[in-house]
Amino acid sequence: MNLLLFCCKTLLSSPFCSCMGFAPVLCFCYNAAVRWCPMMKQLLFRLAKSPGMGRLVGWSFRWCSWVLPVKKVYRTEKMLAFEHPRPAYADHIILSPRAAVSDLLALGEEKNRGYLPELWRTVETLAANRPEYRQGFTVAANGGKRQEVGQVHFHLFTGYSLVSKDPAAGQEGPVLFTDAAVCIRRHPSPEWAFHFVVQPASAAVGYDQTGVPAPMTEAYLQAIPKAISQLQDRYDLAEKGYSLVYRQSSNSQTALPIFHLIAGPKKAKPEQRQ
């Protein structure tokens, strides 16, 4: 009973976030994050990983983000970004749709097709406005056995890379899947047991001068979940656990994102890569 009273008091005393609403905005408020005690934060973090909690997590991102015990850094009508409550890497941020979306493949459903382009706009905004990301960063989302929370989310961080670099021009591996928007190839120098490259089917994509995705770029991002599903059964990706990864270096061009799809264990290296 005392714990219940404490929770109610905490919620009622938590101020509304000063950056509430749906217009895109960088957030600098701590709001509820500073009012929740560490014990309650730990409990909520564990509950989020419980089976069947995914829809509740997505619902809370949409309607109750102001009271979540995390520090929000950016939000739009469709996307929420906040500091990871238990960061595993430097500058570790979580990005997730403000809706109940179970996993990466669910982003390919018609009602969810706008979230991946919105995610990419969010990454670009954070990279442009936060100095820690200007020299490079990694974006990664887990699927299958690697996904611990039943709500799709992406990790943005620095200081560690899951993949070393993109294949050089002319070094592409064989095509495994392609359609009008996206192409998946086998990585010519795989670093994981299963390592694929996800890229636009045509190089004629890019961003216009306002920063809004050109139609072909948006179609490419929307097509990625469906393309992954085409490989899932063939390589049993869900059972192995997989990740969709983007690596940005200081000289990369985010206007043409090339992703890595990795699964299974990482291959042993004869020498440590920088």
Q: How far apart (Å, rounded) are the C-alpha atoms in residues 247 and 11?
A: 38
**Residue 211 token pair:** 């920063």
- Shared-domain flag, residues 207 and 123: no
| Confidence (pLDDT) at 197 | 94
3-state secondary structure of 162: coil
How many domains is the chain partitioned into structurally? Answer: 2
pLDDT tens, position by position, 52-83: 554 555 545 554 555 566 788 898 888 999 88
80, part of any domain: yes
Q: In CATH, what number is assigned to the domain containing residue 217?
A: 3.30.428.10
Q: Is residue 8 part of a domain?
A: no
The residue among 228, 235, 233, 234 whose CA lies nearest residue 260 is 228
Q: What is the mean pLDDT of residues 86-99?
A: 92
Query: Do 52 and 138 have their domain in common?
Result: yes
- The string of pLDDT tens digits covering residues 225-256 is 999 999 998 999 999 999 999 998 876 665 66
- Single out the residue in 125, 158, 191 at which a domain terminates: 158
Residue 110 domain flag: yes
Q: Flag whether 164 is in a domain.
A: no
Given a cut of 90, whether residue 210 has pLDDT beyond it is: no
Q: In which domain, by residue range, is 253 found?
A: 175-266
Q: 7: pLDDT confidence band, cut at 50, 70 and 90? A: very low
Lowest mean pLDDT among 10-14, 131-135, 255-259: 10-14
d(CA 254, CA 95): 17
pLDDT (average), residues 195-217: 67
Question: In the prediction, which pLDDT does 216 show?
Answer: 72
* 262 neighbors 186 (Cβ within 8 angstroms): no
Are residues 256 and 205 part of one domain?
yes
Q: For residue 172, what pLDDT is reported?
A: 76
Is 51 part of a structural domain of the chain? yes
Together in a domain, 72 and 32: yes
Q: How far apart are CA 100 and CA 113, in angstroms?
A: 13
Q: Quote the pLDDT of residue 166.
A: 75
Residue 167, domain member (yes or no) = no
Within this chain, do residues 60 and 118 fall inside the same structural domain, yes or no? yes
In-domain check, residue 2: no
11 within a domain of the structure (yes/no): no
Which tens digits make up the pLDDT trace of 112-162? 999 999 999 999 999 999 999 988 999 999 999 998 887 899 999 999 989
